[in-house]
Amino acid sequence: MSKTASPGPSTRAPGPFRPGGGASPRALVLALVVALLFAASAAQALSPDEQNNVDVYRNASPGVVNITSITVDYDFFLRPVPREGAGSGVIIDRRGYILTNNHVIKNARRLEVTLADRSRHRGFLVGAYPEMDLAIIRIEAPEESLVPVPLGESSSLVVGQKVLAIGNPFGLGETLTTGIISSLGRSVSSPDGVLLEDLIQTDASINPGNSGGPLLDSEGRVIGINTAILSPSGGSVGIGFAIPVDEARRIIPDLIEKGRVEYPWMGVSLFPLFPALAQALDLSVEKGVMITEAAAGGPADKAGLSGATHILEVGNIQLPVGGDVIVAVEGKAVKSPEELTRILRRKRPGDQVSLEVAAKGRTRTVTVTLEARPGDRTRR
């Protein structure tokens, strides 16, 4: 009698795989899903630099505002013609104070400020400092909608450092651009024709409407206020300028408290001294700045400094000479009136400055107590 053979070991491979290495449809679908998830994750992953850009923008953009100004011009027939301009600003505290450029709000009959939440508020001028193209305005808005952006420092900036600019170029709100500090200590004329010095140069794109917005470091701190571009076309070509935030820090308290900045005044008119002129005048020093006039009763006059004693004619030019020559301020040599002005601008009325002065073949040290410029004492 024949026996039925018992079944041997199963030839079906365990799991989803078939003999011969083939995969089941279920396995293929699972593998495909895993691959797509991995690809999506890789596509969404940001580099550290990109993540920094995202973080800075997310934290700082709520504190950047759009400022619309209404000015009035007159046509050929002297009829008033309202004109609208736009710029940016940065909230500096929860009381509603906003830092911007003077040229953004100059001569405005009305200011309107749009916050990041799209709410609109009437703006009021608090004070302006045209010498550095800075101004403070204020709005009345719920405290929770006011997001101040922290102020950093500009004294330790270096060329090559990463910077970010946020503003409203061409009316496009909350726009972020990035770049580096291209140079420091630049001088350029503001849109109002005022010579601005010690500016930050950057290749971060700055366009019309960015004026008054913040230039930020990689920590999201304000290191400058965007103010001007160098461009033949009116658009960005990678040469923009920002006012160092240290300049703003210095004047913000005065603008908020007094509505003006009292400019430190020494009460002198100056002319640069150069070697050929020093030789012609038989002076003991070759470089410095000559005092051509010391205002009567002014700080320099009170300190015993003297202006010109006579006039020297050189061709068609009449040059006041014979006054004291300032060769150094607080131990730093000065070669031009601009250098002296730059040093004094960082002072305040009441501060004392030490001058090294040459006159009559000898050099002496003179201490001058600065005063507020006469026009600043009463101006509001």
Q: Kindly list the catalytic residues.
A: 103, 133, 211
Bridge partner residues of 202 (DSSP): 181, 240
DSSP assignment string, 178-199: EEEEEEEEEEEE-TTSPEEEEE
Q: Determine the Cα–Cα distance for residues 287 and 290; give it in Å rounded to an integer.
A: 9
Q: How far is CA 163 from CA 133, 205, 215, in A?
A: 21, 11, 7
End-to-end CA distance of the chain: 125
Under 8 Å between Cβ of 366 and 305: yes
Q: Using the structure block, give the residue that is written with the tokens 């002014």.
A: 298
Q: Determine the Cα–Cα distance for residues 80 and 107; give it in Å rounded to an integer.
A: 14
Q: Residue 32 in 3-state DSSP?
A: helix
Q: Which helix (H) or strand (E) holds 120?
A: strand 120-129
Q: How far is CA 368 from CA 76, 299, 306, 372, in A?
A: 52, 6, 13, 13
Under 8 Å between Cβ of 360 and 307: no
DSSP assignment string, 322-368: SS-EEEEETTEE--SHHHHHHHHHTS-TT-EEEEEEEETTEEEEEEE
Under 8 Å between Cβ of 328 and 339: no
One-letter amino acid of 48: P
Q: Using the structure block, give the residue that is written with the tokens 């005092």.
A: 291
Q: Determine the Cα–Cα distance for residues 288 and 351; give it in Å rounded to an integer.
A: 22
Q: Determine the Cα–Cα distance for residues 231 and 209; give it in Å rounded to an integer.
A: 15
Under 8 Å between Cβ of 63 and 189: no
